[in-house]
Chain A
Amino acid sequence: MTVILYLLAVSLVFGAGGLAIFLWSLRSGQYDDMEGAANRILFDEDR
């Protein structure tokens, strides 16, 4: 049953990774303009 310890550790590392990515995206202002992002994707190709 020691395998469960590895699995727990792995799942926590993945989860923590996801959390870190989210906090980074929040800090870099990616949630400041949700409406703009939805529209911008239709136009940004030459920059």
Chain B
Amino acid sequence: MAQPLAATLDDFPPTQAIADAICAHCGQPAPAGRTFCCTGCAAAHDMIQGLGLGRYYEQRVLDAAERAPKPEPAERWDLARHVVDKPDGTHELTLAIDGLQCGACVWLIESVLAKQPGITAGRVNMTTRRLRLAWRGAAGDAERLVGRIEALGYRLVPFDMRALSAAQDQAGRALLRALAVAGFAAGNVMFISIGIWAGQTMSDPIGPAMLALLHWISAAITMPAIAYAGRPFFASAWAALKQRRTNMDVPISIGVILVTVMSLVETIQHGEHTYFDSAVTLLFFLLIGRYLDHMARGRARATAEQLLTLRASDVAVLLADGTIQRRAQEQVAEGDRILVATGERIGVDGVVDQGQSLLDTSLVTGESLPANASAGTKVFAGTLNLGAALTVRATATGETTLLAECVRLIEAAEARRSRFVVIADRVARRYAPAVHLCALTTFLGWYFWMDAPLGYSLLTAAAVLIITCPCALALAVPAVQVIATGRLFRAGILLKSPTALERLAQVDTVVFDKTGTLTEPLLALSNDVDPAALREAAGLAATSRHPLARSLVAAAGIVAPADNVVEHQGLGLSLSGPNGETRLGSRSFCGIEAGSADGPELWLARPGAAPVRFSFDERLRADALDVVARLRGMGLRLRLISGDRPEPVARIAAALGIEDWRAGCTPVEKVGLIEAWARDGAKILMVGDGLNDSPALAAAHVSASPASAADVSQTVADLVFQGAKLAPVWIALRTAVKSRRVMTENLALSIGYNVVMVPLAVAGLVTPWLAAAAMSSSSLLVMGNSLRLRKGARAPGTKT
């Protein structure tokens, strides 16, 4: 689990000093002299030890790329909506699980659940990161069970078992069954065939009766196996032919069926050569390719589902009688009153009804500083409430909202974007007609020109079809994709689109957004201050969620939060001491009359001491400079477009040496720029996180978002990367370029093999054993070449 690479993608703010202590439960920094970082961790530790599961701490390996197992105030979910009642009186619930570190976590969760009364099944699926719960008793017990696991520090989100993912799973199983049947038949028929070939070459050849018997047995195994295992190909080929198109499955189906029928005719006529073994082995290899392809796609889809589920949230609707009901976002009606607690994201577009607070709109507009909100302020879904609780009246998610406008722009951009044809289909389009023409010419040549018997001519044509059947070709691309996807997955990069890898490899321009993409969510302290003042200020700030306060805490390192701090909404924090009141907050709150703020700042006013000023600046992601240099080293053109004001954008662009930057761009302008550059022939990778970037992400050739991005952006982006670093962008690009090289090599290998073998087949020199040997060896060669991509998977990003 804990790859060295993953360890470089840790989630710690880089300027933070080495922590004084490490929390014994979650492994995050803890204040000096304490065993735990918070009471939640202490409680989790007690619970684990109390249940006698202390072995967990010895055996676990914390994966820095994952969320630390730190219990956080649990979100309230309407679990009852997702509980399925089974006829035998048990209840079932499936949840997406966040924060799984290693096998020990699976063991811990399952052991804790096993000790709960009434539980009949509690099983974690580590591949899909889902937890399936089944229990006897009341359906409402779900709250208690989920609460136990949340207390351990994992995040659980109820899963909507969509019909889509179930259907996907069915297809995968059907493929695996077909693969098993084809493998069984291929093994046995090949076994018999080797006997036949050996018998034919010996000085005392096997008799015709024995030969006929062995051929009949081969036919009896092969034909049902092909009828069963060939269905995925036949169905797809038939669907393509019905639409008067052709695809890779058409030559495959024609080849396999023709070869089997010809071999059957030979068997009936007591002929010498049959190709049953080739037909079924071919199918076996092709099914391997198809299954690999399915796995790559399935993983991409499961990733997207998991991301969406983990980010979904319920909305607290305030009913007329004053009670609160949790509802899914789409069930909120216009005019409903929504309660937004401190630190919660607003789930719907609306207008503030009651309350006064600070809103962090950085995901929506790209603006890096929070804005005040009071009754009448328009708010957008995705905005984070930093201050006091708000009541919001939901407005129509119709025409005028920002989200609706972005969705409209995304749809328009996607419609304009030309459909990408994957490399395998491009090759297949030219390959299929060439193969059929070749086989037909062979048949006509032998029958009319060489006056060969009809049976012999057909059999030679069949041999051509076997040799040209795109066996290695069908493996060439999916084998590489599966390996590359797995490799990126371990580096914290989730590929959501199966064609993203091929599109990434073509990129020649990288366009970055600024806020949240090149810069970190927190700001950096930009002036030198007295460390003692900083520590004291951070003690107050540790109680607040305001971005400046959190930035201050990050700059100070580990401090214990001060007790009895009072938060004054939109002004600052205060703490009453024996000598008077200490204040941390805005200029006016701290009683400074002179001057005005020239940027984000905080003041600390202490009794009997001069006020101290903390000024802040945007902070680049720790490895942004390094990654930008590496990308430039790959010969890529770099650009920066942002919705923020020109000054900060210019500063960031100068720091990174990006000459080509635009500031103050609206979503429409961003799309316009991307499309204009694309018209000039640029293949653009857009990296952005905000709602305002989402249309540009959709318009770009390929797009990436950090895991902290807005929901819409993550949905649109082709790949999503986790962690606080920018290195995944570079790793993904490099892996894509390498993958394309291996894919091209694979295609060259399989086509080169055809060039050598087809003339032999046309000349009628390919006997069944030669066909089988050539086919198997070319497939193995392609697989072996793809596996080279695994080598060196541990090396990249070490310097970062």
Interface-side segment among B99-107, B470-478, B544-552: B99-107
Q: How far is the CA of A19 from the CA of B107 in the complex (A)?
A: 32
Contact residues in B for A32 (Cβ distance below 8 Å): 125, 127
Residues of A within 8 A of B127 (CB): 32-36
Question: Taking the nearest CB of chain A, how far is it from the CB of B225, in angstroms?
Answer: 10
CB of B572, distance to nearest CB on chain A (Å): 48
- What is the CA–CA distance of A19 and B177 in the complex, to the nearest angstrom? 9
In the bound complex, CA of A4 to CA of B106 (Å)? 51
Given the interface pairs A22-B180, A32-B125, A36-B127, the reply to whether A11 lies near B106 with Cβ below 8 Å is no
Whether A43 lies near B104 (C-beta < 8 A) is yes
Partner of A23, one of B59, B102, B177, B221: B177
Kindly identify, within residues 299 to 329 of chain B, every residue whose CB is under 8 Å from any CB belonging to chain A.
Answer: none
User: With A33-B126, A35-B126, A36-B125 as given contacts, are A26 and B180 in contact (CB-CB < 8 Å)?
Assistant: yes
Whether A8 pairs with B184 at a CB distance below 8 angstroms is no
Interface residues of B in 120-165 (CB under 8 A from A): 124-128
B180-A40 in contact (CB<8A): no
B576 at the interface (CB under 8 A from A): no
Q: Is the interface of B mostly helix, strand, loop or mixed?
A: helix
* CA distance in complex: A1, B176 (Å): 37
Query: How many Å from the CB of B182 to the closest CB on chain A?
Result: 10
A1-B210 Cα distance, complex, nearest whole Å: 9
Encode contact with A along B1-33: 1 for CB under 8 Å, 0 otherwise. 100000000000000000000000000000000
In the assembled complex, which residues on chain B have CB atoms less than 8 Å from the CB atom of A11?
188, 191
* Nearest chain A CB to B426 CB, angstrom units: 32
- A35 to B217, alpha carbons, bound, how many Å? 40
- Which residues in A have their C-beta under 8 angstroms from that of B111? 47
Q: Is the CB of A18 within 8 A of B184?
A: yes
Pick the contact of A36: B104, B124, B188 (CB < 8 A): B124
Chain B positions within 8 Å of A35 at CB level: 126-127
Are B210 and A19 touching (Cβ within 8 A)?
Answer: no
B contact residues around A33 at 8 Å (CB) = 125-128
Measured between alpha carbons, how far is A15 from B180 in the docked complex, in Å? 11
Q: How far is the CA of A40 from the CA of B114 in the complex (A)?
A: 15
| Given contacts A31-B176, A32-B127, A33-B125, A19 and B181 within 8 Å (CB-CB) | yes
Does A3 sit at the interface, judged by CB under 8 A?
no
Whether B114 pairs with A47 at a CB distance below 8 angstroms is yes
Smallest CB–CB gap between A20 and chain B, Å? 10
The listed residue (A19, A42, A47) touching B103 by CB distance below 8 A is: A42
Give A26's nearest chain B residue, CB to CB: B176
B107 adjacent to A43 (CB under 8 Å): yes
Least CB distance from B249 to A in Å reads: 24
| Contact of A43 with B103 in the complex, beta carbons under 8 Å | yes
Residues of A near B192 (CB, < 8 A) are: 8
Q: A36 CA to B129 CA in the complex, in Å?
A: 9
A35 to B102, CA, bound (A): 10
State whether the Cβ of B445 lies closer than 8 Å to any Cβ in chain A.
no
- From 265 to 300 in chain B, residues with beta carbon under 8 angstroms from any chain A beta carbon are none
Could you tell me if B106 and A36 are in contact, using CB atoms closer than 8 angstroms?
yes
Decide: A16 near B184, CB < 8 A? Known: A8-B192, A43-B59: yes
CB proximity to A under 8 Å, residues B39-90: 59
B107 partner residues in chain A, CB cutoff 8 A: 40, 43-44
Closest residue of chain B to A39 (Cβ to Cβ) is B103
Q: Which residues of B contact A18 (CB under 8 A)?
A: 184
Q: Which residues of A contact B195 (CB under 8 A)?
A: 4
Does B187 sit at the interface, judged by CB under 8 A? yes
List the B residue with the shortest CB-CB distance to A32: B125
- Flag if A15 contacts B106 (CB, 8 Å): no
- Selected from A15, A39, A40, the residue in CB contact (under 8 A) with B188 is A15
Query: Cα distance A34–B486 when bound, in Å?
Result: 13
Q: Report yes or no: A19 in contact with B217, Cβ–Cβ below 8 A.
A: no
CB distance from A38 to the nearest CB of B (A): 8
How far does the alpha carbon of A22 sit from the alpha carbon of B182 in the complex, in Å?
13
B184 CB contacts on chain A under 8 angstroms: 15-16, 18-19
B173: interface (CB < 8 Å): yes
Can you name 21 A-B residue pairings with CB atoms under 8 Å?
A: A4-B195, A4-B210, A8-B192, A15-B188, A18-B184, A19-B180, A19-B184, A22-B180, A23-B180, A26-B173, A26-B180, A32-B125, A32-B127, A35-B127, A36-B103, A36-B127, A38-B103, A39-B103, A40-B106, A40-B107, A43-B103
Given contacts A36-B127, A44-B107, 18 further A-B contacts (CB under 8 A): A4-B210, A8-B217, A11-B188, A12-B188, A15-B187, A18-B184, A19-B181, A26-B176, A26-B177, A26-B180, A33-B128, A35-B127, A38-B103, A39-B102, A40-B107, A43-B103, A43-B104, A43-B107
Chain B interface (Cβ < 8 Å from any Cβ of A): 1, 59, 102-104, 106-107, 111, 114, 124-128, 173, 176-177, 180-181, 184, 187-188, 191-192, 195, 210, 217, 221
Report the 8 A-B pairs with minimum CB-CB distance, sorted nearest first.
Answer: A39-B103, A36-B126, A43-B107, A19-B184, A33-B125, A35-B126, A35-B127, A33-B127
